[in-house]
Amino acid sequence: MAIEVTMPQMGESVVEGTIAKWLVKEGDRVAEDQPLCEISTDKVDTEIPSPAAGVIAKIVAAEGETLPVGAVLATIEEAGGATAAAVPAPEKEKPEVAKPAAEAPRPKLEPVRRPATGEARVAVEKPEAVAPVAGKPLKATALAKPAAVPGDHRRYSPVVLKMAAEHGIDLARVPGTGIGGRVSKRDVLKYLESLGQPALRPAPSARPQPAVTPLAAPSAAPASPPTPSVFHPPVYEPREGDVVEPFTRRRKLIAEHMVYSKTHSPHVGTVAEVDVTRVLALRQAHKAEFERREGFALTLLPFVAAATVRGLKEFPRMNASVVNDALVIRKQINLGIAVDTEEGLLVPVVKAAEGMSVVGLAREIERLRRKVAEKTITADDLSGGSFTLSNPGREGNLFGLAIINQPQVGILRMGEVRKRPVVIEADGTDALAIRSIMYLALSYDHRVIDGVLGNRFLFRVARIIEQADFEL
């Protein structure tokens, strides 16, 4: 059965895409979800995964062609389909040979190649395509193309493999400018620069070298520092039924950001217990009237946002960026609010939050939330944050330590609110009470924020929330 590959909808405002590069050619056998081609639009660059396992019957759209959403790019003969064997490749060369072959009864080879099940959803056909090599990084080509795509015979020089391992590079993504598209050391350096990674020269191997004079006495000097060991995750062993989901561009950027943050900022996490009973009561008192007036529900989030903004005003060093070797204290408070979306996390930014009331914050958060949902969020909405507040939802979330949004120096993360028995002091005596408690966790960058400051800031924000002294 023929399946059409079409230009996907890549966002509300995206109406067309350009074929940047075909990753397969006619006659190639492809696995489901295997990237078929690279598409670029004015908003995103992405790869189109194969909708099914099978053989590329025809490529309709040429590289460089710009086509509307929904346009047919290629057709795939599904692996389990009756005409799957009618690969067009042979007829180009010797039709007279191909013809009798097509008419003759199938050679016994054929049933073996079919998936055992009638179902054609076999993303991984040939586990042996990924041969583990001791001490070598798993070639990303293996992950991206588990079905051993013909034509991918890239070989890499020792130094390129070494650099790929050191920097965790997917070599399949590195454009090669050497003879026959070979990826050279220079190409890897350029690629690293394009990622914004520090394009370090590859560290020369630090193994001991034979001395110039072989008679030299064994040196008693301390050994040269050991080569930092590069961890390689276990080699991926494909199994039938595995689904390979290549990173989207956004996922890749998120991944790089998170790794950068964790490796550059020593995170310290600290957690406060916040009694939100009063603020919830305040919310309850204004809830109905607020929703009628504003058209959306009043949640706990704008109260916590308002308390955060007040805390940042009192502790301006928390509202800062690390720029090279300096701490830049930002005057304006631009509060990022982490929002979960289908395509990954987005952090729209409430600009100039220092002048906003709870209502103002609520309106701005709602406006941004809606833009995210409608996919009309712009790059401006997502940039310029000076501090971030994350509210990942209630369930299964006592508390968690978020990763700092670079180059900021701290991030607050709301935990779940639950009624708990707590000891309170009333009129000089202790008493048990049932209160609504939220755990509020602060992660801060210990390069620039010391523990005392981090604690005081968190304690202050917690107290502001508990006091619930907000205008509504």
Partner 1 sequence: MRGAAMEITYIQAINQALHEEMSRDENVFVMGEDVGELGGAFKATEGLLAAFGEERVIDTPIAESLIVGAGVGAAVLGMRPVVEMQFADFISCAFDQIVNMAATLRYRHGGRASCPMVIRAPSGAGVHGALFHSQNPEAWFTRVPGLKVVAPATVYDAKGLLKAAIRDDDPVIYFEHKRLYRSLKDDIPEGDFTVPIGVAELRQEGEELSIITYGGTLNQCLDAARIVAKEDGLSVEVLDLRTLLPLDREAVLKTARKTGKVLVVHEDRLTGGFGGEIAALIAEHAFEDLDAPVRRLAALDTHTAFSPPLEEYILPNTNKIVDAIRSLAAY
The residues assigned a catalytic role are 446, 450
Q: Which stretch binds partner 1 (CB under 8 A): 98-106, 151-159, 190-198, 369-377?
A: 151-159
Residue number with CB closer to partner 1 (164 or 339): 164
**Site for partner 1 contains 213 (CB under 8 A):** yes
**Site for partner 1 contains 160 (CB under 8 A):** yes
Please tell me the distance from the alpha carbon of residue 444 to that of residue 405, in angstroms, as a whole number. Answer: 10
The C-alpha R_g of the chain, in whole angstroms, comes to: 29
Sign of CA dihedral 298, 300, 305, 306: positive
Residue number with CB closer to partner 1 (13 or 205): 205
Under DSSP, the state recorded for 408 is B
**Site for partner 1 contains 349 (CB under 8 A):** no
Q: Shortest gap between Cβ of 173 and partner 1 (angstroms)? A: 18
Q: Shortest gap between Cβ of 231 and partner 1 (angstroms)? A: 18
**Site for partner 1 contains 162 (CB under 8 A):** yes
Q: Which stretch binds partner 1 (CB under 8 A): 79-87, 152-160, 361-369, 414-422?
A: 152-160
Residue number with CB closer to partner 1 (213 or 263): 213
How many CB atoms are located within 10 Å of the residue 68 CB? Answer: 10
**Site for partner 1 contains 190 (CB under 8 A):** no
Q: Which stretch binds partner 1 (CB under 8 A): 4-12, 182-190, 218-226, 228-236?
A: 182-190
Sign of CA dihedral 393, 263, 311, 365: negative
**Site for partner 1 contains 167 (CB under 8 A):** no
**Site for partner 1 contains 201 (CB under 8 A):** yes
Output phi, psi for 436, to 5 deg: -90, 120
Please tell me the distance from the alpha carbon of residue 81 to that of residue 173, in angstroms, as a whole number. Answer: 32
Reply yes or no: is the peptide bond before residue 226 cis, omega within 30 of 0. no
Q: Rounded to 5 degrees, what angle do the CA atoms 430, 434, 438 make? A: 105
Please tell me the distance from the alpha carbon of residue 258 to that of residue 272, in angstroms, as a whole number. Answer: 24
Distances (CA, A) of 202 to 137, 184, 259, 438, 445: 16, 13, 20, 48, 29
**Site for partner 1 contains 164 (CB under 8 A):** no
Q: Residue 276: which of 422, 393, 401 has the closest Cα?
A: 422
Q: Which stretch binds partner 1 (CB under 8 A): 200-208, 291-299, 362-370, 436-444?
A: 200-208
> Tokens 């990753």 — which residue?
23
Q: Residue 86: which of 52, 121, 58, 51 has the closest Cα?
A: 58
Residue number with CB closer to partner 1 (212 or 432): 212
The one among 99, 113, 126, 186 contacting partner 1 by CB under 8 A = 186
**Site for partner 1 contains 196 (CB under 8 A):** no
How many CB atoms are located within 10 Å of the residue 290 CB? Answer: 18
Q: Shortest gap between Cβ of 22 and partner 1 (angstroms)? A: 25
The one among 64, 158, 226, 428 contacting partner 1 by CB under 8 A = 158
**Site for partner 1 contains 202 (CB under 8 A):** yes
**Site for partner 1 contains 217 (CB under 8 A):** no
Q: Which stretch binds partner 1 (CB under 8 A): 55-63, 156-164, 247-255, 407-415?
A: 156-164
**Site for partner 1 contains 204 (CB under 8 A):** yes
Output phi, psi for 25, to 5 deg: -130, 170
Q: Shortest gap between Cβ of 194 and partner 1 (angstroms)? A: 18
The one among 104, 179, 220, 426 contacting partner 1 by CB under 8 A = 179
Please tell me the distance from the alpha carbon of residue 306 to that of residue 69, in angstroms, as a whole number. Answer: 42
Q: Residue 71: which of 61, 57, 59 has the closest Cα?
A: 61
**Site for partner 1 contains 184 (CB under 8 A):** yes
Q: Which stretch binds partner 1 (CB under 8 A): 52-60, 176-184, 240-248, 414-422?
A: 176-184
Burial class of residue 144, CB neighbours in 10 A (0-12, 13-18, 19+): buried
Residues at the site binding partner 1, with contacts judged by CB under 8 A: 157-160, 162, 178-179, 182, 184-186, 201-202, 204-205, 209-210, 212-213
